[in-house]
């Protein structure tokens, strides 16, 4: 390419005296003007080195007048000369112009974003929103968002646009038909909600896209094979028993008890033992609780950042106190996962042990990651390994903690269903205090209660996508490439078009007869399609084991003084925790003194 933006021709119109262009000279273009100045002309801008009034660097340039290298050198030389020759006042003018141009560029970019979004979402009527904040102000009221969205959903059949400010909008889908259209495609996760979580869980299976996601999903699917999951049931039983023993100690003095925290420790213990073969003591050693606290903090901060669009900007966020807190919690979370990886690598004694392990028929999650090799024989990079461990450590315990805690709350709220589950469990377990693999299929009523709780209190209340190509929905309305979508699992699971009295807790909705013919996307706790939850069987087993053993040992009673307040913070939590009164059951009957 010979067409350079500057010319070395001496016939260039610029002259040293007209450079730099005056701000008042309308004919001058300060972007291109310097580029039309010859090296000879510019050499005279450089400070003279004295003797012959000749510029210090000038002699080197004419030696290679026609080479590209020389031209580039001259441009740099010209620029340096020009800058050195500027007066302070000129510098201010330049800075002002550049600033103004940058501002204009940004404003026009924002305008285009806004215009494209308004056009894209025009076919979809939206709830009333403020001209500047959109619906952002409503979303600042933490703990109100789920009910608010559900309330809005009643006025729109399929969904509605949600505006956070003027430059972020997404279509919030509340109808199974729309969900089906989206989940049948392979659009990537959206680049906003998930972006804030990437510093924490990296680009592991949850967030990655394309070939990387496909390769890792195929690699990790065997870790959830039926034969791998089978022995985990006794691990789950043991972890639940540790929690119940603790509850027995605590209950005489501390009743009602906040259970979410205890359940989180239990599910963390379980995932560490099952997926990472890490013999943790998180439930008994309080010094190991730091990770759980960091997870709370990170979930809260990710949600906070999403709601406050001013913090969507990385620079502002990183300089804010929230950014500081985020980095501090991140350090704790990453130290935890690093410890797990390091310990396992040492144990495996690398080469020798890896060969032995890869010959076993079923590998656990961490084995698979450590044994993985691509076609060139290269293993996963440390970054990819850490991202997967962080993803599974978080996804594998926080979601199930939420699931189990809300199931216990739902059963406390509906004692008649609780009692029916207990009867069923008593019949299957008898005097045993351990659940076995075969038991899991023999507790259909408890399973229905678990599903009903996942419907009413979905641990993952929503998922998001960014369209990689246009989409046309069943009613003919379309959205262009690049549009953002949130699937509100919370609203879809309560869609009045598919669930009669959606607010009523009725486990029999999941009986075989009542489930027959139901829309396959009307119940989406684990999403569906390509990006469905890889750990759903693991999760269902864990929820069954925990529910069975807890109900066998305790009666659960609501604390009317402390009703949980739902909040969507990455997973479904309660702002004030979940407080339940626990009554010990001995030999199948309530213990007299605790009644």
Give how many residues touch ligand HEM by CB under 6 A.
23
The whole-angstrom separation of Cα 281 and Cα 432 is 24
Pick one of 232, 291, 306, 392: the residue that binds ligand HEM (CB under 6 A): 392
Whichever of 392 and 554 has its CB closer to ligand HEM, that residue is 392
Binding to ligand HEM by residue 399, rule CB under 6 A? yes
Q: Which residue is nearest to ligand HEM, using beta carbons? A: 535
- Provide the minimum distance between the beta carbon of 460 and ligand HEM in the complex, in angstroms, as a whole number: 4
- Provide the minimum distance between the beta carbon of 368 and ligand HEM in the complex, in angstroms, as a whole number: 13
Q: Closest Cα to residue 481, out of 119, 143, 226?
A: 119
**Residue 515, Cβ density class (10 Å: 0-12 exposed, 13-18 middle, ≥19 buried):** middle
Binding to ligand HEM by residue 570, rule CB under 6 A? no
Cα→Cα distances 102→24, 26, 359, 474, Å: 19, 19, 60, 43
Whichever of 58 and 271 has its CB closer to ligand HEM, that residue is 271
Rg, the chain, Cα only: 31
Cβ 582 vs Cβ 257: under 8 Å = yes
Contacting range for ligand HEM; rule: CB under 6 A; set: 15-23, 138-146, 252-260, 396-404: 396-404
Whichever of 220 and 301 has its CB closer to ligand HEM, that residue is 220
Whichever of 309 and 538 has its CB closer to ligand HEM, that residue is 538
Cβ 89 vs Cβ 78: under 8 Å = no
Contacting range for ligand HEM; rule: CB under 6 A; set: 51-59, 122-130, 392-400, 578-586: 392-400
Residues 554, 556, 562, 566, CA torsion sign: positive
- Provide the minimum distance between the beta carbon of 399 and ligand HEM in the complex, in angstroms, as a whole number: 3
Binding to ligand HEM by residue 202, rule CB under 6 A? no
Cβ 235 vs Cβ 270: under 8 Å = yes
Within 10 angstroms of residue 241's Cβ, the number of other Cβ atoms is 15
Whichever of 392 and 523 has its CB closer to ligand HEM, that residue is 392
Cβ 299 vs Cβ 571: under 8 Å = yes
- Provide the minimum distance between the beta carbon of 580 and ligand HEM in the complex, in angstroms, as a whole number: 19
Strands 462-466 and 566-569: unpaired
The whole-angstrom separation of Cα 546 and Cα 572 is 18
- Provide the minimum distance between the beta carbon of 594 and ligand HEM in the complex, in angstroms, as a whole number: 30
- Provide the minimum distance between the beta carbon of 453 and ligand HEM in the complex, in angstroms, as a whole number: 10
- Provide the minimum distance between the beta carbon of 151 and ligand HEM in the complex, in angstroms, as a whole number: 23
- Provide the minimum distance between the beta carbon of 18 and ligand HEM in the complex, in angstroms, as a whole number: 59
378 three-class SS: coil
Binding to ligand HEM by residue 461, rule CB under 6 A? no
Contacting range for ligand HEM; rule: CB under 6 A; set: 71-79, 168-176, 394-402, 577-585: 394-402
Pick one of 391, 446, 495, 568: the residue that binds ligand HEM (CB under 6 A): 391
Show the tokens assigned to 489.
Answer: 């699992």
The whole-angstrom separation of Cα 378 and Cα 294 is 33
Binding to ligand HEM by residue 217, rule CB under 6 A? yes
Contacting range for ligand HEM; rule: CB under 6 A; set: 16-24, 158-166, 228-236, 399-407: 399-407
Cβ 96 vs Cβ 124: under 8 Å = no
The whole-angstrom separation of Cα 516 and Cα 588 is 35
Pick one of 175, 180, 189, 336: the residue that binds ligand HEM (CB under 6 A): 189
Show the tokens assigned to 55.
Answer: 């510029």
Binding to ligand HEM by residue 205, rule CB under 6 A? yes
Q: Which of residues 499-528 bind ligand HEM (CB under 6 A)?
A: 525-527
* 410-426: b (≥16 Cβ within 10 Å) or e: bbbbbeebbebbbebbe
Binding to ligand HEM by residue 466, rule CB under 6 A? no
Contacting range for ligand HEM; rule: CB under 6 A; set: 129-137, 347-355, 393-401, 438-446: 393-401
Cα–Cα–Cα angle for 9, 12, 17, nearest 5°? Answer: 130
Omega before 98 cis (within 30°)?
no
Binding to ligand HEM by residue 400, rule CB under 6 A? yes
Q: Which helix (H) or strand (E) holds 478?
A: strand 478-479
Counting DSSP H helices and E strands in the chain, the numbers are 22, 12
Whichever of 395 and 439 has its CB closer to ligand HEM, that residue is 395
559 three-class SS: coil
Whichever of 189 and 273 has its CB closer to ligand HEM, that residue is 189
Cα→Cα distances 431→305, 346, 421, 551, 583, Å: 49, 41, 16, 13, 19
Whichever of 71 and 494 has its CB closer to ligand HEM, that residue is 494
Cβ 533 vs Cβ 484: under 8 Å = no
Pick one of 46, 363, 366, 534: the residue that binds ligand HEM (CB under 6 A): 534
Binding to ligand HEM by residue 460, rule CB under 6 A? yes
Contacting range for ligand HEM; rule: CB under 6 A; set: 292-300, 337-345, 434-442, 532-540: 532-540
Contacting range for ligand HEM; rule: CB under 6 A; set: 173-181, 374-382, 511-519, 533-541: 533-541
Binding to ligand HEM by residue 539, rule CB under 6 A? yes
Pick one of 384, 390, 395, 424: the residue that binds ligand HEM (CB under 6 A): 395
Binding to ligand HEM by residue 228, rule CB under 6 A? no
Note the maximum CA span of the chain.
Answer: 109
Residues that bind ligand HEM (CB under 6 A): 189, 205-206, 217, 391-392, 395-396, 399-400, 403, 459-460, 463, 525-527, 531, 533-535, 538-539
């Amino acid at each position: 390419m010979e067409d350079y933006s500057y010319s070395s021709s001496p016939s260039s119109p610029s002259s040293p005296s007209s450079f730099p262009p005056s701000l008042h000279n309308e004919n001058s273009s300060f972007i291109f003007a310097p580029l039309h100045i010859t090296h000879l002309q510019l050499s005279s801008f450089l400070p003279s080195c004295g003797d012959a009034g000749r510029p210090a660097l000038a002699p080197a340039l004419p030696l290679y007048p026609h080479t590209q290298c020389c031209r580039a050198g001259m441009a740099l030389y010209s620029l340096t000369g020009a800058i050195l020759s500027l007066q302070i006042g000129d510098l201010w003018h330049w800075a002002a112009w550049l600033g103004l141009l940058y501002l204009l560029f940004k404003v026009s970019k924002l305008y285009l974003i806004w215009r494209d979004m308004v056009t894209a979402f025009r076919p979809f009527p939206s709830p009333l929103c403020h001209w500047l904040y959109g619906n952002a102000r409503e979303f600042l009221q933490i703990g109100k968002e789920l009910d608010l969205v559900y309330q809005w959903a009643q006025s729109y059949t399929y969904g509605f646009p949600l505006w956070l400010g003027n430059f972020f909008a997404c279509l919030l889908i509340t109808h199974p038909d729309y969900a089906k259209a989206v989940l049948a495609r392979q659009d990537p996760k959206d680049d906003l909600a998930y972006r804030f979580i990437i510093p924490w869980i990296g680009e592991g299976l949850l967030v990655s896209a394309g070939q990387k996601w496909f390769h890792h999903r195929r690699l990790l699917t065997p870790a959830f094979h039926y034969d791998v999951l089978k022995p985990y049931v006794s691990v789950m039983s043991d972890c639940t028993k540790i929690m119940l023993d603790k509850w027995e100690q605590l209950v005489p003095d501390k009743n009602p008890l906040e259970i979410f925290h205890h359940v989180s420790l239990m599910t963390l213990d379980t995932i560490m033992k099952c997926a990472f073969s890490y013999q943790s003591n998180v439930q008994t050693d309080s010094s190991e609780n730091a990770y759980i606290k960091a997870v709370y903090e990170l979930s809260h901060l990710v949600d906070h950042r999403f709601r406050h669009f001013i913090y969507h900007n990385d620079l502002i966020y990183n300089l804010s106190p929230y950014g500081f807190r985020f980095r501090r919690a991140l350090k704790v979370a990453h130290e935890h996962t690093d410890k797990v990886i390091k310990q396992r690598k040492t144990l495996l004694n690398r080469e020798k042990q890896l060969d032995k392990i890869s010959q076993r028929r079923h590998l656990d999650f961490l084995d698979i990651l450590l044994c993985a090799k691509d076609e060139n024989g290269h293993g996963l990079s440390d970054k990819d390994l850490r991202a997967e461990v962080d993803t599974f450590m978080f996804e594998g315990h926080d979601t199930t903690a939420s699931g189990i805690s809300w199931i216990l709350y739902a059963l406390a709220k509906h004692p008649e269903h609780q009692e029916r589950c207990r009867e069923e469990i008593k019949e299957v377990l008898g005097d045993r205090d351990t659940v076995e693999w075969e038991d899991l299929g023999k507790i259909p009523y408890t399973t229905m209660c678990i599903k009903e709780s996942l419907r009413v209190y979905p641990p993952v209340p929503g998922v998001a996508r960014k369209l990689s190509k246009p989409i046309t929905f069943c009613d003919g309305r379309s959205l262009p490439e690049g549009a953002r979508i949130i699937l509100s699992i919370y609203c879809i699971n309560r869609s009045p078009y598919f669930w009669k009295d959606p607010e009523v807790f009725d486990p029999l909705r999941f009986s075989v007869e009542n489930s027959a013919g139901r829309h396959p996307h009307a119940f989406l706790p684990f999403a569906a399609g390509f990006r469905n939850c890889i750990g759903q069987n693991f999760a269902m087993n864990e929820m069954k084991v925990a529910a069975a053993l807890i109900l066998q040992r305790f009666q659960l009673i609501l604390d009317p003084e402390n009703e949980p307040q739902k909040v969507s913070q990455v997973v479904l939590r309660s702002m004030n925790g979940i407080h339940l009164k626990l009554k010990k059951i001995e030999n199948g009957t309530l213990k007299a003194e605790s009644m």
